[in-house]
Structure 1
Amino acid sequence: RNIDRLKVADINRYILYLVNEKKISVSQQNMRINAIKFYYEQVKGGKRQYYGGITRAKEYKTLPEVLSRNEIKRILDQLSNIKHRCMISLVYSAGLRRSELLNLTPKDINSETMSVRIMGKGKKCRYSLLSPKLLEELRRYFREYRPKKWLFEGETPGQPYSASALVKVLKEAARRAGIKHRVHVHMLRHSFATHLLEQGTDLHTIQELLGHNDIKTTAIYLHVSSAHKAKIPNPLDTLDDS
């Protein structure tokens, strides 16, 4: 039908169909309603309407999924290939995003300052931690593979390692390690931040290492970590002090 002849009831039926039948996400629901409102109200100059036939859905942010130290050790123990082991170790030990790992060059590893130079989102450069233990493994990897351009290259020299191949490496290692729940690359970054917090590292330092613009983004790990909560005095136990 002609889009300009549709009634509010027609649009509401369409949106409810998407919600109930197509099971679109909360963000998709709101995006489509906003697009419809923009067309009829801003482009066509119509009056404001209520669309959807349902209360606007709110999107709830879930807490980051984190691996335990034991789970990460078990995963690394399954990686006999030195390249695979270095890649997974570096994502965890420096708190990298998948794209950040694959964009690293050999020059980004600085053994003098024990740091990793990272080109993050929006071409923003930052530095993160370099593990002395991993540095030795990286040196062994470099002697064996001799990467030409990227730190981690695929089968074709000079071409970066495949993102999908990295995902497969991690999933297969997790499967062999006996980890039943879903494991994805970004969990290593979440685990890096959470474990640093549990070791007593302050939030601002973790923010810098992760490359977050807003401290509120980093503060989400306070909800994940249980170690810092254990150090908080229970108010019941402090009653005698007042």
Structure 2
Amino acid sequence: MNWSAKIITHKKVKRIAVYFEQNIQMQEKIKECEGALWSTTKAVWHVADTVENRFRFELIPHSQSLPSREGIEQIEKFINNLRSQRYSNSTVVSYSDAIKSFLTYYREKPVNEITNEDVIIYNNDYILKHDFSASYQNQIVNAIKLFFQTIRETKIVIDKIHRPKRAKVLPNVLSKKEVKLILDAHSNIKHKTMLAVIYSCGLRCGELLALRPIDIDSKRNIVLLKNSKGKKDRIVPLSPKILEMLREYYKICKPKHYLFEGQIEGRAYKARSLQLILKQALAKSGIKKPVTLHWLRHSYATHLLENGTDLRYIQELLGHNSSKTTEIYTHVSTKSIQQIKSPFDDL
């Protein structure tokens, strides 16, 4: 198949554009990639700018793309160590991939000879050169720290591995009017209910898709979230309006194992399909913002804060370990800011 790829900026976000002649096989390959979308304005398929996608479309050379034999053995030990500590599968995959990238860069060097200076060189000559994000660099640092804790003889001083200075990015928040437009966009009861539950309970996408009917406690008006991020259980209040919607949905769809199932009975709804539902809702409601499912969670937290809910309760509802994570919503709440009078009005 003939194709080419390059980094583009689409709606102020870096993406990987993939150019090819009309080909069903290639189109299916693109759809399998993370964040695959079709741009009508640019007339091109584009995918998320991730390390995996850069490798997939050869924006990073594949030459010498494996660590040394020693490196591979150490990675296998590292994976076993993470699993024994019961890290989630997604964390095991992301951390092992990060270490694979790092040890590939130093494939000619014994693992126990790698130093803190080598980490700095890697950051400058690989991470920054390829314009990877600070969050990806931070993930690399987390992986390196954990990895070298498992190496008996090492020249790495773990506490002296520095982290990148992260940009202070505010969460994206929708107005209540915009949320209502999105939630009212679909007539399909399943689609409508899924989006409504995410907003009304402040859920992550994965938390919604993992819900089972028995997790809805209608007598206590709560939703039980089992084994959420960080392997924590938590409860969130269940809105009476959402309970009515869920009952109507349950009568019509009759889910078996998961609360929201896909076309195959007993299997959870796919995250990619849920993202498509949101995209369709945005098109129907005429909202042009690049809204994601997580925007609904951010909006839930901000609207709670603006309604006077104590920040400590919001922290519990969102499942945040640190209050500092929750405090970011104080910077996007407009309740106090709107009360400030501009001196321009007195001129």
* Band the TM-score falls in, shorter-chain normalisation: 0.7 to 0.9
Match 2:286 to one of 162, 171, 178:
178
* Map of 2:334 onto structure 1: 226
1:52-201 equivalent positions in 2, closer than 5 A: 57-119=164-226, 120-201=228-309
Residue aligning to 2:103: none
**Counterpart in the other structure of 1:50:** none
Structure 1: distance between partners of 2:219 and 2:265:
27
Instruction: Give the drift of 1:180.
Output: 1.0
Larger RCO (CA within 8 A; separation ≥ 6) = 1
Q: Which runs of no fewer than 5 residues in structure 2 stay unpaired?
A: 1-106, 111-117, 343-347
- 1:237 equivalent in structure 2: none
Query: Could you tell me how far apart the structure 2 residues matched to 1:136 and 1:130 are?
Result: 10
Q: Which residue of 2 aligns with 1:239?
A: none
Aligned residue pairs total: 228
In the superposition, relative to structure 1, how do residues 28 and 146 fare at CA in structure 2: closer, same or farther (>3 Å)?
closer
Aligned AA for 1:209? L
Cα distance, 1:29–1:105 mapped onto 2, change above 3 Å: closer
1:130 Cα deviation (Å)? 1.2
Cα deviation, 1:151-197, whole Å, max 9, x if unaligned, reads: 00000111011111111111121122111111111111111000000
Q: Indicate how the Cα distance of structure 1 residues 27 and 134 shifts in structure 2: closer, same or farther if over 3 A, else same.
A: closer
1:23 counterpart residue number: 131
In structure 2, how many angstroms separate the alpha carbons of the residues matched to 1:227 and 1:113? 31
Which ranges of structure 1 fall in alignment gaps of 5 or more residues? 5-9, 48-54, 235-242
Instruction: State the Cα distance separating 1:18 from its structure 2 match.
Output: 3.4
Report the CA distance shift for 1:11/1:207 in structure 2 as closer, same or farther (over 3 A): closer
Distance 1:153 1:17 in 2: 46
Distance, in Å, in 2 between the alignment partners of 1:180 and 1:129 is: 31
- The TM-score normalised by the length of structure 2 is 0.56
Tell me the SS of whatever aligns to 1:117: strand
Q: 1:233 to 1:206 in 2, by over 3 A?
A: farther
1:44 is displaced (CA, Å) by 6.8
Q: Whose strand proportion is higher, 1 or 2?
A: 2
Distance 2:206 2:120 in 1: 40
User: Could you tell me which amino acid in structure 1 is paired with residue 258 of structure 2?
Assistant: W
CA 1:118/1:61 → structure 2, altered by over 3 Å: closer, same or farther? same
Query: Is the helix fraction higher in 1 or 2?
Result: 1
Instruction: State the identity as a percent.
Output: 48
RMSD: 3.6
1:151 and 1:11 mapped to 2: Cα distance? 46
SS of 1:125 mapped into structure 2: strand
Larger radius of gyration: 1
Q: Which amino acid aligns with 1:158?
A: G
Separation in 2, partners of 1:189, 1:98: 9
Question: Where do 4+ consecutive residues of structure 1 move more than 4 Å?
Answer: 1-4, 10-17, 27-30, 42-47, 229-234
